[in-house]
Homo-oligomer: A and B are copies of this chain.
Amino acid sequence: MTEARLMQGNEACAEGAIAAGVSFFGGYPITPSTEIAEGMAKMLPAIGGKFVQMEDEIASMGVVLGASLAGKKALTASSGPGISLKQELIGYAACAEIPVVIVNVQRVGPSTGQPTAPSQGDVMQARWGTHGDHPMIALSPWSVREAYDAAVMAVNYSERFRTPVILLMDEIIGHLREKVVLPEAKDIKIYPRRKPACSRAEGYQPYTPDKDLVPNVANFGEGYHIHVTGLIHDETGFPVGSPKITEEAIDRLHQKIEIARDEITHTEEYFMDDAEYAVIAFGGTARTAYEAVKNARAKGQKVGMVRLMTIWPFADKIVKALAAKVKGILVAELNYGQLVHEVERAVAGKCDVQLCAKYNMEIFEPQEIESGIDKLCAGGKD
Contact indicator B91/A109 (Cβ below 8 Å): yes
Given contacts A246-B360, A359-B247, contact A131 B81 (CB under 8 A): yes
In order of increasing CB-CB distance, the 4 nearest A-B pairs are: A109-B132, A349-B349, A111-B230, A110-B132
Chain B residue at minimal CB-CB distance from A247: B360
A171 contacts partner chain B, Cβ-Cβ < 8 Å: no
User: In whole angstroms, what is the CA distance A81 to B94 when docked?
Assistant: 13
Q: Which range holds the interface residue count of chain A?
A: 35 or more
Chain B residue at minimal CB-CB distance from A240: B114
- 15 inter-chain pairs at a CB distance below 8 angstroms, sorted by A residue, are A81-B91, A83-B131, A91-B111, A95-B109, A95-B111, A108-B232, A109-B133, A110-B133, A114-B232, A133-B335, A133-B336, A133-B359, A241-B361, A243-B361, A246-B361
Chain B residue at minimal CB-CB distance from A344: B345
Which residues of A217-241 are within 8 A (CB) of B?
Answer: 229-232, 241
Distance of A249 from chain B, by nearest CB (Å):
9
Which residues of A75-109 are within 8 A (CB) of B?
Answer: 80-81, 83-85, 87-88, 91-92, 94-96, 106, 108-109
Contact indicator A131/B80 (Cβ below 8 Å): yes
A interface residues with partner B (beta carbon < 8 Å): 58, 80-81, 83-85, 87-88, 91-92, 94-96, 106, 108-115, 117, 119, 121-122, 124-125, 127-134, 229-232, 241, 243-244, 246-247, 250, 253-254, 335-336, 338, 341-342, 344-345, 347-350, 359-362
Interfacial chain B residues near A121, Cβ < 8 Å: 131-133
User: In whole angstroms, what is the CA distance A85 to B89 when docked?
Assistant: 9
Contact indicator B114/A231 (Cβ below 8 Å): yes
Chain B residue at minimal CB-CB distance from A358: B247
Distance of A4 from chain B, by nearest CB (Å):
34
Distance of A173 from chain B, by nearest CB (Å):
17
Given contacts A246-B108, A344-B345, A349-B350, contact A122 B114 (CB under 8 A): no
Contact indicator A94/B110 (Cβ below 8 Å): yes
Contact indicator A128/B127 (Cβ below 8 Å): yes
Contact indicator B133/A129 (Cβ below 8 Å): no
Apart from A110-B134, A125-B131: 10 A-B pairs, beta carbons within 8 A: A83-B131, A84-B129, A91-B110, A94-B110, A111-B130, A125-B129, A128-B338, A133-B336, A133-B338, A344-B345
